[in-house]
């Protein structure tokens, strides 16, 4: 299953490190791309560059497209110890956790592992940094591995999520930007704050203006844009994390891909209308829905690297 992993870096045949941005520029300029290999020590599996989907020129409001990435070339495979061998890494992490904290990670008879999230959930509800940190770290590792996979298949196959008596399906628990609307709908249907993990790309940080006293800084992710089927009406799903420690949020730079876990809540939706740029008879309506997180522990945010 490691064939699905999207990588953000590759090396060339002379050891040059290539990032996604540089390769995207060469691609856009129709230049020949170099031969590319996995950058994990001792692996060197051949890779290909998959460029970003282009932004439609007709719609300037369309948010930045999903970035490009590197993927395994056809028939290629990562070596056993490669850090992109997510299935292998996942098995190691689960075995170690089941040995050290069996109350949190339980090996089931069918070989899967059950993750018991109740203590973590109660810690989140109490707030004030009362989280079991070791459990948070393990969950964060699993969320990063899930993000690297690009889909739920591997984690859903190996890990059962349990919250008290309820099981949580991975597709109800982890939401990438294409599914922000589903995360929002879950919050809409719930009477309480809901434990979920969201994957996002950092777009901006917004701090209170200097001199206005204390206040939260917000880390905003690239939103999901959605056509509604109604002409001139568009929906946006915005994801933001608020915290008083601006320096901590700044440690997740613009462009970084991050996972955010915690008790999410809905912000107020708002609607704005503006004239159509070329047709005076029409107007464009944007509806913005908000998903907000106020983390109490630094472990609730992690970079996908
Ligand atoms: Zn590799």
* Residue 96 domain-assigned (yes or no): yes
Residues 216 and 293 in one domain: yes
Beta strands at 233-243 and 283-293: parallel, antiparallel or unpaired: parallel
Name the residue range of residue 37's domain: 2-72
Interatomic CA distance for residues 283 and 212, integer angstroms: 37
Q: Is the same domain home to 90 and 161?
A: yes
Instruction: Say yes or no: 195 and 240 in one domain.
Output: yes
The pLDDT of residue 191 is 76
Residue with the bigger pLDDT between 304 and 127: it is 304
Q: Provide the β-strand partners of residue 225.
A: 236
Q: Is residue 121 part of a domain?
A: yes
Does residue 44 carry a pLDDT above 80? yes
To the nearest whole percent, how much of the chain has pLDDT over 70? 93
Q: For residues 21 and 130, state if they share a domain.
A: no
Structural domain includes residue 78 = no
**Collapsed DSSP state (helix, strand, coil) of residue 96:** helix
pLDDT at residue 21 above 80?
A: yes
pLDDT value of residue 93:
93
Q: Is residue 130 part of a domain?
A: yes
Give domain status of residue 97, yes or no: yes
| 200 and 285 within one domain | yes
- Tell me the pLDDT tens digit for each residue of 119-136: 999 999 887 667 888 999
Residues 110 and 45 in one domain: no
State the pLDDT at residue 116. 96
Compute, in angstroms, the gap from residue 132 CA to the centroid of ligand 1: 33
Look at residue 293 in the predicted model and tell me its pLDDT. 96
Cα–ligand 1 centroid distance for 81 (angstroms): 8
Which of 139, 172, 205 is the C-terminal boundary of a domain? 172
Number of independent structural domains in the chain:
3
pLDDT at 131: 80
DSSP symbols for the chain: -GGG--BSEEE-TTS-EEEHHHHHHHHHTTPPPPPEE--STTT--EEEEEPPPPPPTT-TTSPPPPP-EEEEPTT----TT-TT-HHHHHHHHHHHHHHH-TTTEEE-TTS-EEEE-HHHHHHHHH-TT-S-HHHHHHHHHHHHHHHHHSSSHHHHHHEEEEETTEEE-HHHHEE-GGGHHHHHHHHHH-SS-EEEEEEEEEEEEE-PPTTS-S--EEEEEPPEEEE-SSTTEEEEEEEEEEES-HHHHHTS-TT-EEEEEEEEEE---EEEEEE-SS-TT-EEEEEEEEEEE--SSGGGEEE--
For residue 144, report the distance from its CA to the centre of ligand 1, in Å: 17
Same domain, 115 and 165: yes
Give 37 Cα–ligand 1 centroid separation in angstroms. 8
The domain boundary residue, chosen from 122, 144, 172: 172
**CATH code of the domain covering residue 287:** 2.40.50
* 114 and 206 both lie in a single domain: no
183 and 160 in a common domain = no
Question: What is the 8-class DSSP label of residue 277?
Answer: S
User: Are 153 and 180 in a shared domain?
Assistant: no
Average pLDDT, the chain: 89
Q: Is residue 81 part of a domain?
A: no
pTM: 0.86
What's the 40 CA to ligand 1 centre distance in angstroms?
5
> Do both 168 and 180 map to the same domain?
no
Report CA(141)–ligand 1 centroid distance (Å). Answer: 18
Neighbours of ion ligand 1 (CB under 5 A): 38, 40, 43, 45, 78, 82, 84
Other C-beta atoms lying within 10 Å of the C-beta of residue 195:
18
Residue 175 confidence (pLDDT): 96
What is the mean pLDDT of the segment spanning 74-102? 91
Q: Which domain-ending residue is among 72, 101, 118?
A: 72
Token look-up 């070791």 returns 134
- Does the pLDDT value for residue 63 go beyond 60? no
Q: How far is the CA of 8 from the centre of ligand 1 (A)?
A: 12
**18 and 65 fall within a common domain:** yes
User: Is position 292 within any domain?
Assistant: yes
Are 185 and 175 a contacting pair, CB within 8 Å?
no
């Amino acid at each position: 299953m490691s064939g699905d992993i999207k990588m953000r870096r590759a090396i060339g045949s002379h050891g040059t490190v290539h990032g996604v941005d540089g390769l995207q520029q060469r691609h856009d300029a129709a230049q020949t791309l170099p031969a590319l290999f996995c950058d994990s020590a001792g692996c060197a599996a051949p890779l290909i560059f998959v460029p970003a989907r282009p932004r439609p020129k007709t719609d300037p409001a369309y948010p930045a497209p999903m970035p490009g990435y590197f993927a395994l070339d056809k028939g290629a495979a990562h070596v056993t110890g490669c850090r992109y061998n997510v299935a292998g890494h996942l098995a190691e992490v689960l075995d170690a956790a089941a040995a050290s904290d069996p109350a949190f990670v339980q090996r089931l008879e069918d070989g899967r592992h059950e993750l018991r999230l109740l203590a973590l959930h109660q810690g989140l509800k109490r707030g004030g940094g009362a989280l079991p940190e070791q459990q948070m770290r393990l969950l964060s590792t699993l969320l990063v591995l899930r993000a690297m996979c690009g889909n739920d298949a591997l984690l859903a196959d190996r890990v059962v999520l349990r919250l008290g008596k309820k099981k949580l399906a991975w597709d109800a628990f982890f939401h990438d930007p294409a599914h922000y609307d589903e995360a929002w709908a879950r919050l809409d249907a719930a009477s309480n704050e809901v434990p979920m993990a969201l994957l996002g790309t950092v777009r901006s940080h917004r701090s209170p203006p200097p001199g206005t006293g204390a206040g939260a800084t917000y880390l905003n992710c690239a939103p999901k844009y959605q056509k509604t089927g109604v002409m001139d009406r568009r929906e946006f799903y915005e994801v933001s994390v608020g915290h008083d420690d601006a320096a901590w949020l700044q440690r997740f730079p613009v462009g970084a891909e991050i996972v955010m876990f915690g008790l999410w809540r809905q912000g107020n939706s708002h609607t704005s209308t503006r004239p159509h740029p070329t047709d005076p008879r029409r107007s464009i309506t944007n509806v913005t829905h908000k998903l907000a997180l106020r983390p109490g522990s630094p472990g609730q945010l992690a970079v996908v690297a």
